């Protein structure tokens, strides 16, 4: 299909800050694994052709059994092993996709509450600019501090945004950015940063305040509250 959109979900993270032996993507949110919420959006969105889940090597079978098969996701083509870093995991996912892929959405498996409307808005901007990411303007005053924890600079919050996922890119260009990053041993936790460095401008799309990343037990409580609203 022309202008197809395929998805790489980074789900190899640990649950260390959750105080859990089970990786956070599989913790229950209202009786369902966190990962299933984002999978629901991608599965039910007509613009998505295929989903690849990148999991911890020791959890591939668990993910296939307890998530993909149990909840009947038809668009998940495979669950593959991630790497040491998030960048390694996403790159593994990108390399597993067909070279005929037009656009790719990269998403953190621990962000369960984004909407299909956001995904569609990101794709439309990515078609025009090559890359689109969701972000929300911060409400708090932000300061940079030095190594001794003294304030070094107060930032202009009107020009600072908190970035979320999914992030949508031209597949060919994102792969080019990744190849260049590995050649130069450049590491980032954000896919858009690689695109910015090696390809060009990235378009910001208004994110969603409910699109939180679940990192701590408090985040799980907030997500339960948001689902009830």
The two beta strands, 28-29 and 151-154, are unpaired
Single pTM value for the model: 0.93
Coil/strand/helix, residue 148: coil
**pLDDT tens-digit series, residues 64-80:** 999 999 999 999 999 99
**Cα 53 from Cα 68, distance rounded (Å):** 10
**pLDDT tens-digit series, residues 168-209:** 999 999 999 999 999 999 999 899 999 999 999 999 999 999
| Backbone torsion region of residue 72, taken as left when φ is above 0, otherwise alpha when ψ lies between -120 and 50, otherwise beta | left
Report residue 59 as tokens. Answer: 């959890």
In order of 52, 71, 102, the CA distances from 64 in angstroms are 11, 10, 26
The fold of the 5-228 domain, in CATH, is Spore Coat Polysaccharide Biosynthesis Protein SpsA; Chain A (3.90.550)
Per domain, the residue ranges of the chain are 5-228
């Amino acid at each position: 299909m022309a202008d197809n959109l395929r998805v790489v979900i980074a789900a190899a993270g640990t649950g260390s800050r959750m105080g859990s032996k089970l990786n956070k993507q599989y913790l229950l949110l209202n009786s369902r694994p966190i990962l299933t919420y984002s999978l629901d959006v991608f599965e039910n969105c007509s613009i998505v052709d295929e989903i690849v889940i990148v999991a911890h090597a020791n959890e591939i079978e668990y993910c296939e059994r307890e998530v993909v098969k149990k909840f009947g996701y038809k668009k998940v083509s495979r669950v593959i092993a991630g790497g040491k870093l998030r960048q390694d995991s996403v790159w593994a996912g990108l390399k597993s996709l067909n070279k005929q892929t037009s656009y790719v959405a990269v998403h953190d498996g621990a962000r369960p509450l984004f909407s299909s409307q956001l995904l569609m808005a990101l794709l439309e901007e990515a078609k025009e600019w090559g890359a689109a990411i969701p972000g929300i303007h911060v409400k708090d005053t932000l300061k940079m501090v030095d190594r001794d924890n003294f304030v070094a600079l107060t930032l202009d919050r009107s020009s600072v945004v908190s970035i979320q996922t999914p992030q949508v890119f031209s597949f060919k260009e994102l792969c080019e950015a990744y190849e260049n990053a590995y050649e130069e041993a450049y590491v980032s936790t954000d896919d858009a940063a690689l695109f910015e460095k090696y390809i060009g401008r990235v378009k910001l799309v208004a994110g969603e305040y409910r699109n939180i990343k679940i990192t701590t037990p408090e985040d799980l409580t907030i997500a339960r509250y948001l689902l009830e609203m």
